[in-house]
Amino acid sequence: MTHDEILAKLHAKFGETFTTSEFRDNRRIIVPAERVYAVLEFLKEQCGFDMLVELGGADYLHYPHATDRYGVWYVLVNTTTGVRLIVKTFTNDPEPTLPSVFALWKGADWMEREVYDMYGVVFDGHPDLRRILLPDEFTAFPLRKDYPMRGRGERHNFPVITRPES
Amino acid sequence: MALAGVSESVMVTQLDKLANWVRKNSLWPMPFATACCGIELMATGASRHDIARFGAEAMRFSPRQCDLMIVAGRIAMKMLPVLQRIWLQMPEPKWCISMGACASSGGVFDTYAVVQGIDRFIPVDVYVPGCPPRPEQLLRSVLDLQEKIQRTGTLMGKEFQEQRLWPHPPRPLAIELPPAEEIVAPGDFTSATRLQADGRP
Amino acid sequence: MPLELADAIALPEGPEREYLWTLNFGPQHPATHTTLRIILTLDGETIVKAVPDIGYLHSGFEKLGEHLDYNQYVTIVDRKNYISPVANEIAWFAAVEKLMGIELTPRCKYLRVIFNELMRIHDHLLCCGAAALDLGGFTAFLYAFNQKEKIYDICERAAGQRFHPSYLRVGGLLADVDDIWIDMVRKFVRDFPKAWNDIVRLLNRNRIFIERTKDIGVLSKEDAINLSCTGPIARASGVVRDLRKDEPYLAYRDFDFKVVCAREGDCYARYLVRMEEMLESCKIIHQAIENLPPGPVNVDANSKVTMPNQLAVYRSIEGLIHHFELIMSNRQWHTPVEEVYAAIESPNGELGYYVIADGSGVAYRTRTRPPSFIHFAVFPYLIVGHQISDVVAVLGSLNIIAAELDR
Ligand code: SF4
């Protein structure tokens, strides 16, 4: 199944609720957050995208001409034909929320936790949404653009052990 | 336990020398290998470089059996409490080699999550520069440490105690706020890479 | 994660519960190679549940990518999967060059292929050697390290650094290779099968090694796909997928090689796939080095994406201006305001970069698709029902690199 056939199928099912774009060999469809689960489910069940290769997020705070703050992308692959498709969606403050796709691809588990850890995007329906890379006590979301690269001093906040004490 | 005709201090210095000689030639490293430097540490232990020539090949992964901690690799915020705990678990006398730029100063990782040098939080004896240091450099640092032990070591570990004469005031936890403006990358100092206090460029 | 929290995550209910133990594994444990932690719930020696806890090496790689320009970031990328540094660079520049629309010169493509395959051998050697070391076979590890040192020497000759070469640049390489380097690679290709044979003779029919890896940690084909596995781990479970064949990047179309697959999906199959892949890589290197095209390694300096050579900078005003334009951080590359995802087949699996550019010389967002991270998420599924001693075997066969895991 080529990209055009997939897009035709999607149009037949979802009408004009999504937009498409293309850059080099990346084919993308941009879906509003409330439709994203339905679209992904359709892609998995009907179009044979059985592998979720990558799930990541970005903060578009200072991005030129950006209208939404958080973007999340899903790179899908059909392992029999090798076709790739990128599904993108956006969400916004104050409570960025997206549906979890754990029920479709178990591989999404940690990738969603990482996006939550880095951006604070909550994935509804995720079975175990905790911080994954940073300590549980950490309060900020470090990959947001309003968080300074050197942190807010968390890295200096430890007791000192001197020679005689040890 | 002075011998007849020999003052007590002579005996002690001779014993010190003996203890130092014994200690320095059988350092048992605890490889605290977290990142890339750890692989170079493995290479130092493997056949071509062979750290056994300097009596330090008995790598033990239990801190209770070691007297030399080699911190190889960057220490992240989440890892530092583990490092401190392991350091406290090692029996005296103990030494610490900070291997690589990251362990010594944070190296290229001047980011929110990496501790900027382990010497801020635990004592360090020898620093090895390099990213990663070549195995030869690590061997050199072991030799340096041996020299240090021979020169300064005492039987009862007085050199570790001495600082008690000048007790440290209790240190508050350091909370470092970023300066109002900071430069994060080399290059254009006027616009492109400067951050404001709230992190906006 | 505190132990109490790990206990609380959906522990089996009922009278069984009283008999379960909690065992903390890591973060400082010899078999974890670097730093990762697993909290195991045990029934006697059998593992009922495993909760991985990672992040002990989280160093903000992706945040750094938003502050360093496309060439500078290569030093950071190197340190992600430090067992196969150049493969990371190739993936990063695959994304950057796709973003900028640069077509490489044939010589550069071939050299990158050679490096990619050298790194594959390097990575698999360490993985197989260390897996054997963890299971008690010290000699295989020493043999593997001996060959690794030779690959280090090759990197050092080309780039000047043995461990983190930082050899690639946008649109080309740091420098061309010389004849001595070519001879070194030829010699390596000639000698490697013999060393490979030594390791195989030690391990493949070794009773202990087989007993400890066969039927341990079985991953079925459906699970492998559903859990996003790629690379040797997926191939050992029967997923025939290799980006070198499926989406040929660089010059992989020109070479004749096989994709190694297995059906069993256990630790032994993963080990065998890795071993066989080394020979295939050796074949590719042999073909590439014998047919190395002549010509420049960098794209034309007039395209304003690569650094002009030193002579041009010192002797001509155009060269000086090109250099200045690329170095000054308010000029640099003119990228489209776009996003791009590009992936290569790294030794560990699909290594991809999702780069968002905002038109300046510094990426707006660099996201890595780290194979180790995704493969470690599989671990809890693989280990349940096995014994404690199998943890080491499964970890060794997954080849988790902590720096790539945590970034
Ligand atoms: S000093 Fe360099 S080689 Fe060592 S851990 Fe840091 S980045 Fe890795």
Q: How many residues does chain C have?
A: 407
- CA pseudo-torsion sign C91, C95, C100, C106: positive
Closest by alpha carbon to C27, among C49, C1, C9, C4?
Answer: C1
Average pLDDT over residues A56-66: 86
What pLDDT does C212 receive? 85
For ligand 1, whether the C-beta of B145 sits within 6 Å is: no
What's the pLDDT at C334? Answer: 82
Q: Measured between alpha carbons, how far is A49 from A74 in angstroms, rounded to an integer?
A: 11
Judged by DSSP in three states, C13 sits in coil
Which range among B91-100, C16-25, C196-205 shows the weakest confidence by mean pLDDT?
C16-25
The reply to whether A133 touches chain C by the CB within 8 Å rule is yes
Q: Inform me whether the pLDDT recorded for C18 exceeds 80.
A: no
| Mean predicted lDDT score pLDDT of chain C | 85
Q: Can you give the pLDDT at residue C132?
A: 84
Ligand 1 close to Cβ of residue B41 (< 6 A): no
| Tokens (6 digits) for C391 | 């943890």
Cis ω before A94 (30° cut-off from 0): yes
CA of B127 to the centre of ligand 1 (A): 13
Check if the beta carbon of residue C371 is closer than 8 Å to that of residue C397.
no
pLDDT exceeds cutoff 80 at C194: yes
How much is the pLDDT for C32? 61
Mean pLDDT of the C238-254 span: 86
Polymer length in residues for chain B: 201
Rounded Cα distance, C263 and C261, in Å = 7
Are B77 and A135 a contacting pair at CB < 8 A? yes
Task: State how beta strands C21-25 and C37-43 pair.
Answer: antiparallel
DSSP calls for C135-148: TT-HHHHHHHHHHH
Mean pLDDT per block of 10 residues along chain B (201 residues) reads 55 79 86 84 82 83 86 86 86 88 86 84 88 88 89 77 54 47 40 46 47
Ligand 1 proximity of B100 Cβ (cutoff 6 Å): yes
Q: Which of A159, A164, A1, A155 is nearest to A77 (CA)?
A: A1
C367: which 2 tokens? 């996201």
Q: Any idea which of A80-84, C173-177, C329-333 has the lowest mean pLDDT? A: C329-333
Residue of C nearest to A155 (CA): C59
Interface contact B189, partner C, CB < 8 A: no
Residue A105 to residue C2, Cβ atoms within 8 A:
no
Q: Answer whether CATH 3.20.20.80 is correct for domain C102-297+372-406.
A: no
Could you give the CA distance from residue C131 to residue B35 in angstroms, rounded to a whole number? 18
Nearest Cα of chain C lies from the Cα of A154 at a distance, in angstroms, of: 13
A30 pLDDT more than 80: yes
Domain definitions of chain A by residue range: 3-165
Domain boundaries of chain C, sorted by first residue? 102-297+372-406
The b/e string for C75-104 (b: 16+ C-beta within 10 A; e otherwise) is bbbbbbbbbbbbbbbbbbbbbbbbbbebeb
Asked whether B83 lines ligand 1 (CB < 6 A), one says no
Tens digits of residue pLDDT in C75-105: 888 888 888 889 999 999 999 988 888 888 8
Q: Does domain B11-154 have CATH number 3.40.50.12280?
A: yes
8-state DSSP, B96: E
C365 shares contact with chain B (CB less than 8 Å): no
In ligand 1, the atom with minimum distance to the C-alpha of B35 is: 5
| ipTM computed for the complex | 0.91
pLDDT-derived band at C44 (thresholds 50, 70, 90) equals confident
Of C28, A163, A160, C6, whose CA–CA distance to B82 is shortest?
A: C28
Question: Which residue did the predictor score with more confidence, C36 or B174?
Answer: C36
Paired with B96 in beta bridges are B69
How far apart CA C226 and CA B104 sit, in angstroms, is 42
Exposed, middle or buried: residue C16 (CB in 10 Å: 0-12, 13-18, 19+)? exposed
* Whole-number Å distance between alpha carbons of C41 and C223: 23
Q: Could you tell me if the CB of B107 is within 6 A of ligand 1?
A: yes
- How large is the average pLDDT for residues C146-166? 87
Alpha helices (H) along C291-370 = 310-315, 317-327
Residues of chain A above pLDDT 70, percent: 99
Q: Which two tokens stand for residue C381?
A: 């599924």
Confidence band of A33 (pLDDT split at 50, 70, 90): confident
The structure tokens listed for B178 are: 């970023």
Residue extents of the structural domains in chain B: 11-154
Q: Which atom of ligand 1 is nearest to the CA of B101?
A: 1
Q: Which residue has the higher pLDDT, C107 or B156?
A: C107
Is A57 in a helix, a strand, or coil?
strand
CATH fold of the domain at A3-165: Beta Polymerase; domain 2 (3.30.460)
